Amino acid sequence: MQHANFRSEEFMPEIGQNLSHYTLVRKIGKGGMGEVFQARDQRLGRDVAIKVLTKEFARDADRIARFQREAILLASLNHPHIAAIYGLEEHAGTNFLVLELVEGETLADRIKAGPIPFEESLRLALQIAEALEAAHEKGVIHRDLKPANIKVTPKGMVKVLDFGLAKAFAGDKTETDPLGSAALNSPATQSGVILGTAAYMSPEQARGERVDQRADIWTFGVVLYEMLTGGQLFGAATFPETIAAVLTKEPDLKRIPAAVRPLLRRCLQKDSNRRLRDINDVKLELEEVLAIPNEMPAPSVAAVEHRTKLRMMLPWLAAALIAGGIIAGLAVWRLKPPEPHPIARFSCSLPADQTFVPDVQVIAISPDGSRFVCATNQGLYLRMMDQLRGRIIPGTEGQVGNPFFSPDGQWVGFWSERDRQLKKIPVSGGSPVTICAAAQINNVQWSAHNVILYDEEARRIMRVSANGGTPEKILESKNEHLFAPQLLPDGTNLLLALSSVTRYRDLKVAVQSLESGTRKELFAGWGARYLHTGHLVYVQGGTLFAVPFDADRLEVTGDHVPIVQGIAGAPPRYAVSDSGALIYMQSEGESSEKRLLFWVDRNGKEEALDAPPRAYVYAHLSPDATRVALDIRDQENDIWIWDLAGRTLARLTFDPGMNWGGIWTPDGKSVAYSTERSGAANIWLRPADGSGSPEPLTNMPEAGLFAESFSPDGKQLLITGQIPPFNISLLSIGASAAPKPLLESKFDQFNAQISPDGRWMAYQSNETGRTEIYVRPFPNVNTGRWQITTEGGTRPSWNKNGREIFYYLPPGTMMLVPVEMGTSFKAGVPRVLFKGEYPAPVNRTQYSVTPDGKRFLMIKDAGAKFGIAALQQQVNIVLNWTEELKQRVPVK
């Protein structure tokens, strides 16, 4: 490290700016020492946290020198629960710390949501104690331990931040005046900047005395108290009141479970001589409590007295019960049927920072009904029925959907969009285990035979061992959509939903024999599930129905009775267990599927278009940005044109089958789109003004094609298939020849976009195991290749100036990569443009960019505007609902 050459002016860091070899990516927060940014270390290829020091700090050369000496010691703390300090550096007069970047929420955020469950609190506290022990062994005291300085990663690992920085920041003043002589009267103190620290100071630190490791033990006790209770121990309205509480208020430990009350009492002794001296003693006590099987908070004194009285009465009660049993036995010759379990209804809302993943199945319930899981933008959210709070399963972070439980409820399976793989993970978390590669899926079932069934691309039913392996195709149809397979108890008949490719909304529930291949259609509906009560439940028109069903004769034996109305989603978002638990998401008609169009600038500022709310899937701007080609799927699944100036919406396609996609020709006169006819999906072209008749661009039997991008002269069109592995082909417009393969491999390669000058092609591929963005020369694609992302990326799009490539990073992040295109190709460092709740279809590009590259046309769920945001964040739960089912839909 070196001493700084200080500047007189205040440094104002900006996103995208370089400090030495670190590129600032986004702002994380602001503290007393300065602003904190996420940055990219270009030399080592890793993400770090950069803390740019304040002007007052940077101007104090003596303080910088002391800090550098202290930082050498802090950098030696190599422990998994301590966030590392990589160095103190200076660039162009700017001093900054380089720190380990830790993802996750702070303990303060967790505590704001309420008390943390007993066992989880102790496990987190044990990790904090281990961090303190490692530091104390090297003579380093934290001095500023508090929930805001403790992060919990998505995998449940504690990381203690800013270790020892309190002393490093204040220098020698830490020992005699921990806040500095002016702190008590400073405006910052009154506004609460230092107040958060004051509430966690040890009494000796608050008095300005010298401190040792016992100060950290005191603060540890305060933090553990707040974890268990959800409230502050010494919080007050002002700084002086807070200090007074620390010095005089005796902690009230009545709310603390008795199992750890003695430990906290010894940690929170105001006289440091009576306090525990070694954090290792704290750790050992925590380990002992956690080692007790099923340890629960100890009962209150009143509860103990009550139980003692009961034990004294047991002999009398036993005699009375025996006598009563004899009398009852003489009077009643047969037992009455057990009383039905009471039906309970309640709802569960997701945490504020989580939203459900769009366009896939998002909820699942364990077979015993004790827990359920939701697919959210943060990962798989798991909640026990008997708990008020849930958690993200560590290891499921990222774009995941279609969750499902193992028969014993100990594993959760899911589909990863980013990896396009079916995976499983223990409910406790860990590293996901890949079951198999899988294209787009809608529903999955893990059967009692340790076999997983799923529908792939809605065209085939696949079977694979839950232990992993190569999937086996057990059913396929070229003229039908196939959904939601479930193996019936006999193990030979398959329950499923099906529809024709031209009328996919006309869904029917059917049973098909896997041995003979014979099929029996039962009734209209889909999402059917067989219950051991002898019923089928299914959805039709947004209503959940139940009907008695004989699984031996494969016949409906009674009336269809509605159970719940307004089931949301396609596929229907509900799940049932044989134990009598039902979970579902509700909508008002189809309003939950409606979406709005928004302009979003590079800073993330939104401006709603006045286009009507519809079920928009794809939105593509015309070359002159005056019209939008819209793929709308709430009526007949057609392409529509929205005129931005005239504010009119006109239907472009009228084919009986499904129409999707919709991209403009370079002259803006026509739109190319995919349509299904006679069981094949080909690409058609129609004038955007609605005149004339659609013209087929491809005519391939059994094809499933998607239009991607026209060359600038409009003479060539990139297309990809709908069935994995996706590969890129090139079609010459006006030629009678079929599309020619351009880029083929065993990996998925699609969303191909030709550059504005027609010389390059950007596309996405999962060849590394994760979807990334690549660029190749066009049309000679085998003469070069550049990977321009390393942290994932989908749906690339060129800026018309040819100097930028935009791409989408699920869920909801728009990214930018600067590029140079001369005799060769060169890409810069990716950076975040903006983030938001912008749903994306599983595979294709859903956004569009204006010709000047300044605004993005995005699709957003309409729930907030239409007053149904709470429904989109909520799961409804009914326990013992089958009791009512038995009464309303009896099995004959």
| Alpha-carbon gap, residue 613 to 633, rounded angstroms | 12
Helix (H, G, I), strand (E, B) or coil at 330: helix
Residue whose entry in the numeric block shows the structure tokens 């955020």: 109
Q: Cα–chain-centroid distance for residue 819?
A: 30
Integer angstrom CA distances of residue 644 from 599, 613, 650, 860, 861: 12, 15, 12, 18, 20
Instruction: Describe the chain by its helix, strand, coil percentages, rounded to 5.
Output: 20, 35, 45
- Take residue 461 and report the two structure tokens written for it: 């039913």
- Spatial contact of 360 and 839, defined as CB atoms under 8 Å apart: no
- Contact in structure between 536 and 528 (CB atoms under 8 Å): yes
Beta pairing class for 46-53 and 34-41 = antiparallel
Both tokens of 304, joined, read: 């103990």
Q: Say if residues 495 and 477 touch (Cβ distance below 8 Å).
A: no
Under DSSP, the state recorded for 439 is -
Q: By C-alpha distance, which of 446, 510, 525, 523 is closest to 477?
A: 510
Q: What phi and psi, each to the nearest 5 degrees, are found at residue 113? A: -80, -5
Whole-number Cα distances in Å, 887 to 533, 555, 723, 881, 891:
12, 20, 46, 10, 9
Amino acid occupying residue 502: T
Catalytic residue among 41, 60, 109, 144: 144
Orientation of helix 118-137 relative to helix 213-229, angle to 10°: 170
| Residue linked to tokens 């039962």 | 522
Residues recorded for the chain: 892
Distance between CA atoms of 629 and 795, rounded to whole angstroms? 17
For 851-860, letters b (16+ CB in 10 Å) and e give: eebebbbbbb
Nearest to 49 by CA among 33, 72, 65: 33
Question: SS3 sequence, 775-808?
Answer: EEECCCHHHCCEECCCCCCEEEEECCCCCEEEEE
Give the rounded distance of the alpha carbon of 45 from its chain centre. 25
| Of 282, 257, 258, the residue nearest 268 (C-alpha) | 282
Alpha-carbon distance of 53 to 71, in angstroms, equals: 14
Active site residue 144: yes
Residue among 797, 814, 793 at smallest CA distance from 600: 814
Residue tagged 């599983």 (tokens): 842
- 3-class SS of residue 6: coil
Round to whole Å and give the CA distance between 837 and 811. Answer: 8
- Residues 6+ positions from 735 with CB-CB distance below 8 Å: none
Quote the tokens at residue 9.
């002016």
Instruction: Give Rg (Cα) of the chain.
Output: 32
Beta strand ranges found along 602-696 (DSSP E): 606-608, 616-621, 627-632, 638-643, 648-651, 659-664, 670-677, 680-687, 695-696
The rounded distance, in Å, linking the Cα atoms of 181 and 201 is 16
Contacts for 310 with CB less than 8 Å, ≥ 6 apart: none
Residue among 119, 126, 68, 118 at smallest CA distance from 97: 68
Residues marked active site are found at 144
